[in-house]
Structure formats: C-alpha cells, structure tokens
Amino acid sequence: MKTSRGGWRWGSMTVSHRKDGLWQVQIPTKLSQSGKREWKYFPNKLQAEAWVRDFKNEQREHGKQSVTAEHRHWIGYLQEQQIATFEQLTTAIDHWKRTGQHLKPMSAADAVKTFIQTEEPNYPNRRTWGDITERLAKFAGYFGTKSLHEVTVTDIEDFLGTVSAGWNRWSTHKRVKAFYKFAHRHSWIATNLMDQVPQPRTEDPERLIYTPEQFQDMLFMCQNQYPELVPYVVLGGFCFLRTSELVRKYANEQVLQWSDINLDQGAHGEIHVRPGVAKANKRRSDDRYIELSETARAWLEPVRKETGDCVALTYTEFGKHWREMMDKAGVEPIDNGLRHSAISYSIAAHPEHGIQLTARWAGNSETTIRKHYLRWLTEKQGKAWFAVKDINTAAFEDPTQFGFERSDLGPPVTRHPDGSVVWPPNANVK
C-alpha cells in the first residue's frame, strides 16, 4: 500500500524514500528486538523491500521472538562445541573475560628471554640457574616464534618426549612448570597448561656406594699423591658434604671455608654449613651443623688451614685430579658417591638414632634419604666405614672382622709405599 509521503506500507512496517536519497524501513515497537521503534536504512528501494520480505518470512516461521539465520548459525556452532545450555555459555564468556580478554600474546622464544632477564636475580645459586637457562633454551628453540598461548598440552608433551626419560625429563618438566607459572602471572597465557601435564616417571635410583676398603684406597692415594684432595674425600665421606658445597664452579659461588670448621665445639669439633653454601631447601633453613667424628678430625687436623676454601682447586682442576686419583686407586667413580656412602653407613652405624640424626647432618628430609640414598647395611659395616684411619694406623689389617665378604672388599689391604696393595696370605678371608 502506498503512503501519503510516497512510500509503501508493508503490513505494519513502512518503507519510505528520504530526502538524502536513502530508503528507510520503520519497524514498529511490537516487532522490534529492542522493544522500541527502530529504523533500517538502505541505498535503494529493492534492498529495502527485500529486507522487509525476509523479515516477514522470519516472523511467519518463528513468531515475534524470531531467531535470525545468523543466530541459528551461532547456535549450531555452540552445539558443536558442546555448549548446550545458557549456563555453560555464560560460564564460557565469564572465563574468556577473566583470561583471554586481557591476553598479551608473546612468542615462546621471547617469553623465555624475558623470563631469564627478569628472574636471574632470584636465583643466586649459579648451578641451579645454569640448569634452568639450559633447559628453557631448548624449549625456546623447539617452539621458536610460535605464540606461547597457542602451544597446547600435546605440544608440551611432544617437547618433553625429545628429552631422555627419567630424571632428565623430570628436571625439564620442573623448569618448564616454573616458567609457565611466570607466564600465567604476566598474562602471556590464559591458563597454565603445565597443570595438565603429568610429572614424568622416574626409576627407583640405583643405590651405589663405596665399600670401606675402596674408601681407604682413595684416602691412602690422596695422602700419598694427591694431598689437595684429602679435605674433599674426608668431608664428603665422613661429613656428608655435597660436591657443590666443596668445589666452586662459578667465581661468585660460596663453598665451605676452613673457618666454618670449629675444632673446639663439641666432643671432636663441628662444621657449620652456612646459608649460601648449603643446598637451599624450601621446607627448612638452608644451613646445618655437622658433628665431627674422631676419625674425621684425625684426618683433617694435619691438613687444616686457618682461612680459605677447604678444597683449594678450581672446578676444572678438581675434575682432572679426581679422575686421575680414582684411576690410580682402582676405584670406579660414583656420582656423589662419598656422600651417598656416608649417609648409608651412618644410618647403619647409629641404629639407636635411625634416619633422623643422619638426615639432620646431611641436610635432607628423612623421606628423601629413604628414596634416594638408603642402602641397608649392618651396624658392623657402618662402624667399619667410620673407622678408616690414616696409613700409619692401618685400621684394616683384617677388614672381614666387620662382616664383609671377600667379594665386598675389592683389592687386598697390605700396602706398598707407592700405594699399591696385595692380599696377605694369612688374611682371614671368607
């Protein structure tokens, strides 16, 4: 129907030609989505009439509360995403507003670079920091310019799969998890996907330790040819010190000083492993006190100095001298084997104190010792370890008295001046 203004009335809607050349469709209140009168504008009459026809078809098919074709498209999309209720849709929108709405996209490589620059002051232990940067550099190299928020759980698991299984993969997972926490705090990612990546499995550690006989071979070889290693072997084998607490790898690392050993404290003396020297532990103070045994004191007194590092060797020098000494002593090296042996033999030698006393001296929890260090030995075997004297006292004329089989003892114990050994014919060998 033609209106008085030259337009057309389509039912309750009016199509009219404006002075600016546009065609206007007036939608009455009862038909508008907003509940108010609305207008639509088109460049020509044909488009205006076509819109009115489509609108009326929607009205006839779906009534006043019509759902447009575009609306039906998005409803179908939500159903494909398994969002079937308004409650789920509201939850999804709220989550997006909390997370993705304020996301600050950053490539994996740039994110690692920023993390390293920002966090370095928070890691004074250079060995720990070196491990972190090395493992995250591999992460950055793997993902490169890919945005961190686009990395999926599957992607992370694929990356971890490139790292050898066991403790190496476990350590990489640990470093990447800390990095992702940092990334989440800085809004580079919407959610911390590392919460969904299971911790890699690790095999039960092989609890390798030295025999007292091997310990004596090492001490005698040091005493004869490598005196600079005597403090290392004594403090590691009798006093539970870690290699990292004795040998400086970086110039600014703290290591045990001669001034940390107080021979006037307690029955035979005491070692104070200061904060910064001791391995940091979130569950307790990172310093500890270790009681010196009579044997440890006897070994330390002849080589003790007033000041300076207990092990006065660079990291490179130490490694060279250590390998040479162990080769000449005929002992196969065990990683941190002196400390591991000291822990196992100490527990055996002090059955009345159980693991608690040794855990305190070693700076570990009882759980950690049970999992990583403990190897069950007899009390006699424990006392044998801590009875190793210097070459002049020859404590092991008959080591089988401590309950070791011949196969446990390694080389025989009669010694020549050059440190070589032969088994005496009259030895009480089982």
**pLDDT per residue as tens digits for the range 1-19:** 555 455 566 567 888 888 8
DSSP string, 117-183: HHHGGG---HHHHHHHHHHHHHHHHHHTTSBGGG--HHHHHHHHTTSPTTHHHHHHHHHHHHHHHHH
CA distances from 260 to 254, 287, 357 (A): 12, 12, 20
Q: Are the CB atoms for 186 and 104 separated by under 8 Å?
A: yes
Of 176, 247, 215, the closest CA to residue 331 belongs to: 215
Domains detected in the chain: 1-62 (no CATH), 70-99 (no CATH), 108-196 (1.10.150.130), 212-422 (1.10.443)
Q: Write down the pLDDT at residue 354.
A: 66
The encoded tokens of residue 336 equal 């941190």
Cα 102 from Cα 426, distance rounded (Å): 82
Whether residue 210 has pLDDT greater than 80: yes
Mean pLDDT of the chain: 80
pLDDT value of residue 407: 38
Strands 261-262 and 38-42 turn out to be unpaired
Top mean pLDDT of 100-109, 174-183, 385-394 is at: 174-183
The mean pLDDT value for 223-243 works out to 94
pLDDT in tens, 383-429: 889 888 754 444 444 444 434 343 333 333 333 444 433 333 333 33
pLDDT of residue 225: 93
Q: Which of 85-94, 120-129, 260-269 has the lowest mean pLDDT?
A: 85-94
Q: Predicted confidence band at 128 (pLDDT cuts at 50, 70, 90)?
A: confident
Phi and psi at 265, nearest 5°, equal -100, 130
